[in-house]
């Protein structure tokens, strides 16, 4: 017995020593990271070029950073908050220490047309202040070139290419996979154009969806062309796209020279040549090596110039998919957003609210949670102004019905007033491996939905009635908010997606304008002026551990450079495609079953890159889906 006690004591002492050692290693590791971050910050030059090396997408609300992964250098691509990027560029226009603005767009992940137009407008202010704006990339896609068009000098790598293609492309359809697995999908929907369920019940696009999507693509593309033509009149973009092969042949197959000949870029040069040009304008870097210039990273610039929090207009962001319950930043949890609205209400200094929406929708119940919280704010006398970003459709439009006035841009994707429900069952799948089911029921709905034995006709009828009821409520909300008859809303609803220009004609929005216009309108309605008319942002708070780790330099950076040639850039879409499959199948399994969602809207916003945990669970998800587990 004594020997057992001694052994146990030695084990406890060893565990204690191990924990102390682990703590000390963690402490000194964090201290090292903090000192390293401080040295990096001290190394930022006092004057030079504002340097936007955008190694990821620009988004309304970045996803919450996994600080532990950040500390070990495995955090994945960065995400840049739109309002931070815009504010930094606009501050640079009047900052005498900023001599130029530089866009390094290798690895840029896009951000949607509305966001690009907003950043482009900020770049125009820099040029109007007499400061040069320079862009460089090895490959320009639609979003990257929309930014570059606002630069005073557009550079392209000698082996580079302008790969503008225009919006649109293929959707994924899973009916063939579902049939092979022996699964069944039970679909309940309202809306002629509610095509979000088509991938699960068809192998191709319906005629109605095709016509609606073609009209949408045409409107958005025309807006892109108009913006580029205004910003860079010498760019012969239509000629370039009309017959790119002919242009290539005229330049002996040189893609970079073809882009230059069409006026899309000004100069061809590698990073050293480009850096040398920037150094001539903004000064040389501390190292003084070839192509090194005095660069002030945008993240450092934003930290040194924090936004003042004295405004009395509360801004709540609904970004990403709308989901039930709590959700971290980058997704719109119904409970999370509702609580943020109530937090703003409890602050006596907040006199008006702006709801910034950049979401294709999601859970109908969560959308209603958010709308109800806004309605409560209106009852207390707070003006509510809605500002639509790239996308505010389906559930994103549902929450917008609570606004006194709705702002959007001509390129905003909105509408999709419709509801659907979808539920898989696996009776045929299991029967193939010899598993069947049987039982007794007290009522026709006992044990329903029976995804193992097969969903009953009674449940199907009940589910369809429920979806129709929610659609009726959706129609009623829109009719009341937009002062239209329910019959008229039903005509322009039916799940159809509209561009902002058409939505304005249909009275689904009130005015054209961005977030700044919405904040100004909210301030006017609340009789605010001066500093009080400014914004105060209410965002989801990270957990305490993430806050602690963030103190030690947990800033998100890219762990790998973006693709440098156009074929590699095209290949990167494979990962984005896998992310879409992952999202679609996970949504089919995990719900919510009843959704106000817009599938076709997702191609107009940057797809968030899959994180390591998501990649690891990819095959597990397929197995789970195939077995009905």
> Of the candidates 2, 71, 85, which has an alpha carbon nearest to the alpha carbon of residue 30?
71
Model confidence at 435: pLDDT above 50: yes
Model confidence at 555: pLDDT above 50: no
Q: Compute the average pLDDT of residues 116-138.
A: 98
Residue from 359, 394, 400, 416 carrying the catalytic annotation = 394
The 10s digit of each residue's pLDDT in 268-295 is 999 999 999 999 999 998 877 888 999 9
The 10s digit of each residue's pLDDT in 24-48 is 666 555 555 554 544 445 568 889 9
Report yes or no: 109 and 85 within 8 Å, Cβ to Cβ: no
The strand order across the sheet containing 48-53 reads 267-268, 153-162, 133-140, 98-104, 48-53, 295-297
> Of the candidates 151, 45, 34, 159, which has an alpha carbon nearest to the alpha carbon of residue 95?
45
Q: What pLDDT band is residue 423 in, cutting at 50, 70 and 90? A: confident
Our answer to whether residue 194 is catalytic in this structure is yes
Neighbours of 306 (CB within 10 A): 8
Neighbours of 41 (CB within 10 A): 13
Predicted local confidence at residue 559, as pLDDT: 40
Residue from 99, 194, 257, 351 carrying the catalytic annotation = 194
Q: Compute the average pLDDT of residues 2-12.
A: 64
Report yes or no: 163 and 464 within 8 Å, Cβ to Cβ: no
Host H or E run for residue 420: strand 419-425
Predicted local confidence at residue 65, as pLDDT: 65
Host H or E run for residue 290: none
Which residues in 52-63 are b (16+ Cβ under 10 Å) and which e? bbbbbbbbbbbb
Report yes or no: 264 and 28 within 8 Å, Cβ to Cβ: no
Pairing of strands 48-53, 295-297: parallel
Chain center to CA of 515: 16
Provide the 3-class DSSP secondary structure of residue 117.
helix
Predicted local confidence at residue 557, as pLDDT: 42
Our answer to whether residue 394 is catalytic in this structure is yes
Pairing of strands 332-333, 322-323: parallel
Question: Which residues 6+ apart lie within 8 Å of 270 measured at CB?
Answer: 157, 158
- Give the largest Cα separation in the chain, rounded: 92
What's the pTM?
A: 0.85
Q: Compute the average pLDDT of residues 534-556.
A: 66
Report yes or no: 355 and 392 within 8 Å, Cβ to Cβ: no
> Of the candidates 197, 191, 192, 206, which has an alpha carbon nearest to the alpha carbon of residue 178?
197
- Measured in degrees and rounded to the nearest 5, phi and psi for residue 162 equal -95, 110
Mean pLDDT for all residues in the chain: 85
CA angle (301, 564, 61) in 5-degree steps = 40
């Amino acid at each position: 017995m004594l020997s057992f006690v001694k052994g146990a004591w030695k084990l406890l002492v060893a565990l204690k020593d191990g924990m102390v050692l682990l703590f000390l290693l963690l402490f000194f590791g964090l201290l090292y990271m903090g000192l390293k971050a401080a040295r990096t910050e001290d190394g930022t030059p006092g004057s030079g070029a504002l340097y936007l090396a955008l190694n990821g997408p620009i988004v309304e609300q970045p996803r919450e950073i996994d600080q532990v992964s950040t500390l070990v250098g495995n955090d994945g691509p960065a995400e840049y908050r739109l309002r931070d990027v815009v504010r930094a560029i606009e501050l640079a226009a009047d900052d005498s220490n900023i001599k130029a603005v530089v866009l390094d767009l290798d690895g840029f992940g896009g951000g949607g047309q509305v966001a690009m137009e907003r950043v482009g407008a900020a770049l125009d202010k820099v040029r109007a202040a007499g400061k040069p704006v320079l862009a460089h990339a090895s490959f320009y896609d639609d979003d990257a070139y929309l930014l570059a068009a606002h630069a005073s000098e557009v550079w392209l790598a000698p082996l580079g290419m302008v790969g503008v293609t225009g919006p649109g492309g293929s959707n994924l359809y899973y009916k063939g996979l579902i049939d092979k697995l022996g699964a069944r999908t039970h679909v309940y929907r309202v809306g002629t154009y509610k095509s979000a369920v088509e991938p699960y019940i068809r192998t191709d696009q319906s005629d109605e969806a095709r016509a609606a999507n073609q009209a949408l693509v045409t409107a958005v593309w025309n807006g892109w062309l108009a913006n580029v033509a205004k910003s860079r009149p010498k760019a012969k973009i239509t000629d370039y796209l009309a017959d790119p092969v002919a242009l290539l042949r005229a330049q002996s197959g040189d893609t970079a020279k073809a882009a230059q000949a069409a006026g899309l870029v000004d100069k061809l040069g590698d990073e050293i040549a480009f850096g040398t040009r920037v150094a001539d304008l903004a000064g040389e870097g501390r190292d003084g090596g070839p192509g090194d210039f005095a660069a002030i990273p945008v993240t450092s610039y934003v930290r040194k110039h924090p936004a003042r929090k004295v405004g009395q207009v509360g801004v709540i962001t609904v970004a990403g998919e709308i989901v039930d319950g709590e959700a971290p930043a980058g997704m719109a949890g119904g409970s999370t957003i509702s609580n943020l609205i109530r937090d703003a209400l409890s602050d006596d200094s907040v006199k008006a609210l702006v709801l910034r929406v950049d979401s294709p929708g999601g859970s109908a119940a969560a959308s209603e949670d958010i709308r109800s919280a806004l309605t409560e704010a209106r009852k207390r006398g707070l003006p509510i102004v809605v500002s639509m970003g790239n996308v505010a459709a389906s559930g994103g439009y549902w929450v917008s019905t609570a606004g006194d006035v709705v702002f959007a841009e001509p390129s905003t994707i909105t509408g999709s007033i419709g509801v659907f429900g979808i539920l898989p069952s696996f009776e045929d799948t299991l029967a193939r491996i010899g598993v069947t089911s049987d039982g007794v029921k007290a009522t026709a709905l006992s044990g329903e939905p029976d995804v193992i034995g097969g969903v009953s006709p009674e449940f199907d009828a009940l589910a369809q009635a429920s979806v129709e009821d929610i659609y009726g409520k959706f129609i009623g909300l829109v009719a009341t908010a937009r002062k239209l008859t329910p019959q008229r809303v039903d005509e322009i609803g039916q799940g159809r997606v509209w561009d902002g220009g058409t939505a304005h004609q249909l009275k689904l929005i009130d005015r054209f304008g961005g977030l700044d216009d919405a904040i100004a309108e909210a301030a006017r309605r609340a009789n605010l002026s001066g500093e009080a008319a400014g914004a105060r942002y209410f965002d989801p708070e990270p957990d305490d551990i993430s806050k602690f780790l963030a103190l030690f330099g947990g800033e998100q950076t890219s762990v790998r450079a973006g693709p440098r040639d156009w074929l590699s850039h095209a290949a990167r879409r494979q990962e984005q495609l896998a992310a879409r499959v992952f999202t679609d199948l996970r949504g089919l399994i995990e719900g919510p079953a009843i959704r106000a969602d817009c599938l076709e809207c997702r191609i107009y916003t940057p797809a968030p890159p899959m994180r390591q945990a998501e990649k690891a669970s990819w095959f597990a998800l397929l197995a789970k889906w195939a077995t009905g587990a």
